[in-house]
A and B are shown apart, each in its own frame.
Chain A
Amino acid sequence: NAGVMQNPRHLVRRRGQEARLRCSPMKGHSHVYWYRQLPEEGLKFMVYLQKENIIDESGMPKERFSAEFPKEGPSILRIQQVVRGDSAAYFCASSRRTGTNEKLFFGSGTQLSVL
């Protein structure tokens, strides 16, 4: 039973390019969460999605960032026109249900480096 799969593991982009980060949740999980870890900081919540719906995007920057979780396929976090400040580790987590007692399973993260 594979865990949460994120790819790519490392992504290098030049300023102004687009970055697409993919996350496949654990089998049977329909809830996906994205977190960002800036250098030397803890993880910060970005967005929570359920299949085809964005439930909570209170942690997403207002511009250039978007997320989706289609009916089929992985969840995608998309960053348009990347800037150096977007360099960070982006973690995806999934759960079977929602609720404060549900355990989140995290992927290994995607390290985004913007040159």
Chain B
Amino acid sequence: AQKVTQAQTEISVVEKEDVTLDCVYETRDTTYYLFWYKQPPSGELVFLIRRNSFDEQNEISGRYSWNFQKSTSSFNFTITASQVVDSAVYFCALSGKEGGAQKLVFGQGTRLTINP
């Protein structure tokens, strides 16, 4: 069965620190997609990134970067020089044929608090 584990329930850092959010997944699919979403206090879900299983290149977008390692089934998310506006709950998610196309499996989420 597909599963996404975000072991860190809550993280609290001081502004400008770097912070990494861990995500470990399980799937029997050879083709699958991994996602990160941000849920700010207002509640909506904001798409951050989608990565397919054949593309193990790390991705950088401004202060955000993602490290995909198939060997350890991990898709970690790093925020560099964190800011108060980064405070949110972050979800890692997985989709693949095993679970049904488009049926995203979400992790429990990591609540990130950036203190000024």
Contact = CB atoms under 8 A, between A and B. Distances in A.
A1 interface: no
Interface residues of B, number: 28
Interface string A88-115: 0101000100111111111111010000
Contact of B103 (A45, A89, A107): A45
Interface residues of A, number: 28
Contacts of A89: 43
A93 B104 CA distance: 11
Given A100-B32, A109-B44, A43 B106 contact: yes
A91 B91 contact: no
Which of B42, B47, B97, B102 gathers the greatest number of chain A CB atoms within 10 Å? B102
Give the most central of A58, A98, A103, A105: most B CB within 10 Å.
A103
Interface of B: 4, 6, 31-33, 37, 42-45, 47, 50, 52, 91, 93, 95-97, 100-109
Interface of A: 31, 33, 35, 41-45, 48, 56, 58-59, 89, 91, 95, 98-109, 111
